[in-house]
Amino acid sequence: MEYWLMNMKLVDSHIHLYSAEYLDKLDDIIREAIKEGVETILCVAEDYETGEATLELSRKYDVVYPALGMHPWTAINNYGDLDKVVRQIEENIGEIIAIGEVGLDKKYESGEKGWARQLNVFRKMIELAEKYNKPLNIHSRRAAKDVLEILRIYKVEKAHFHWFTDDENILREIITEGYYVSFTPSITYSKRMQRMAKQVPISQILTETDGPVSFYGILKGKLTKPIHTKLVLQKLSEIHGYPPDEMAEIIYNNFKNLYGIK
């Protein structure tokens, strides 16, 4: 790591900390993250079980904040769990800072039935977010247009598109709506992601890892960890021409503004 990036406020706004890859290593990973300046880690759930694990981790580590929700893949494969997840969200609403990971996915659409399930689950998640005034942490693979359409119908104000990889015209519309967009370490090597990051105003940018998803470039073969948001921050500050410490401060404030933490 570069010496000039020491002690910056870092934000990981989307990670799956309960994943098997992190088991037994988590104490070290969190300790290292805090030492390197990571201020907030938003752990997103995918289903009921990962939701329980997310709550447990957030109770154990102060730096970890929980989000609960039903992922579009879970909507397809475990649709019957919807009521259980809804109950889980409502019972823990005072503890969570977001509804996520939720959204739509057209890569794993699974036909008409799967798509109908995804839509139904996503609508339910939005209704909960609106009812309890929580931001949405959104997955939108190849479905950003559909996601945006639904957010507009519900007049959703607080949404965060995680690792946006869809059409650049849709990205412009997302920005116009005032939603947030986060970038992963893929920005260090993907020219397309760099081009997209340039289009997002700094007041709407966030950093994330989506760990344990693995990356190429200098992270090839390495376990993705919250400290890797430092690489994202470095690239974003280059792209937008801001000193890294200022960029870090802006991103940290964006996170606080959206998720309402103190």
Residues that bind Zn ion (CB under 5 A): 210
Q: Which residue's entry shows tokens 């988590």?
A: 26
Task: Output 47 or 210, the one with its CB closest to Zn ion.
Answer: 210
Task: Output 73 or 252, the one with its CB closest to Zn ion.
Answer: 73
The minimum distance between CB 77 and Zn ion, in angstroms, equals 16
Task: Output 166 or 210, the one with its CB closest to Zn ion.
Answer: 210
State which H helix or E strand residue 202 sits in.
none
Do β-strands 64-68 and 98-103 pair in parallel, antiparallel, or remain unpaired?
parallel
Task: Output 146 or 210, the one with its CB closest to Zn ion.
Answer: 210
Residue from 189, 180, 100, 109 nearest 142 by CA: 109
How far apart (Å, rounded) are the C-alpha atoms in residues 168 and 42? 26
The minimum distance between CB 163 and Zn ion, in angstroms, equals 7
Residue nearest to Zn ion (CB): 210
Distance of CA 198 to the CA centre of its chain: 19
Give me the torsion for CA of 30, 35, 39, 41, rounded to 10°. Answer: -20
Distance of CA 1 to the CA centre of its chain: 23
The minimum distance between CB 253 and Zn ion, in angstroms, equals 23
The minimum distance between CB 211 and Zn ion, in angstroms, equals 9
The minimum distance between CB 14 and Zn ion, in angstroms, equals 6
Q: What letter would DSSP give residue 9?
A: -
- Whether the CB-CB separation of 42 and 137 falls below 8 Å is answered with yes
How far apart (Å, rounded) are the C-alpha atoms in residues 249 and 254? 9
Task: Output 5 or 11, the one with its CB closest to Zn ion.
Answer: 11
User: What are the DSSP calls for 69-129, one per residue?
Assistant: ---HHHHHH-GGGHHHHHHHHHHTTTT-SEEEEEE--STT--HHHHHHHHHHHHHHHHHHH
The minimum distance between CB 129 and Zn ion, in angstroms, equals 17
